[in-house]
Amino acid sequence: MQDKLIELIAEALEIDKSEAENDLILDPEENWDSIALLSVIASIDEEFNIQLDGDKLAECRSIPEILKLLEENS
């Protein structure tokens, strides 16, 4: 699940997968804007059939935090 999530986030942020490793900081001022959030929400729903709350996802600042959110909602 983690590898696919990294791919989805890299695609949403329009960055290389290698840049989207666990140490990537999701910053609303730089890369974690509303368009990226919507893209990730749609991708997670399509790929994992999990519907996430946009506000909770927006609070996430790292891939491990998103993974935790996915686990809580699966």
Name the token pair of 47. Answer: 């790929």
Count of other CB atoms within 10 angstroms of residue 7 = 14
CA–CA separation, 54 and 48 (whole Å) = 16
Q: Which residue has the tokens 């290698």?
A: 18
Q: Which domain holds residue 60?
A: 2-73
Predicted pLDDT at 22: 62
CATH code for the domain of 7 = 1.10.1200.10
13-21 contacts, C-beta under 8 A, 24 or more apart: 20/63, 21/63
Enter the pTM of the model: 0.89
Predicted pLDDT at 21: 78
All residue ranges of the chain with pLDDT < 50 are none
CA–CA separation, 74 and 22 (whole Å) = 21
Predicted pLDDT at 36: 94
Predicted pLDDT at 63: 93
Domain count, the chain: 1
The one-character DSSP state at 23 is: T
Predicted pLDDT at 10: 95
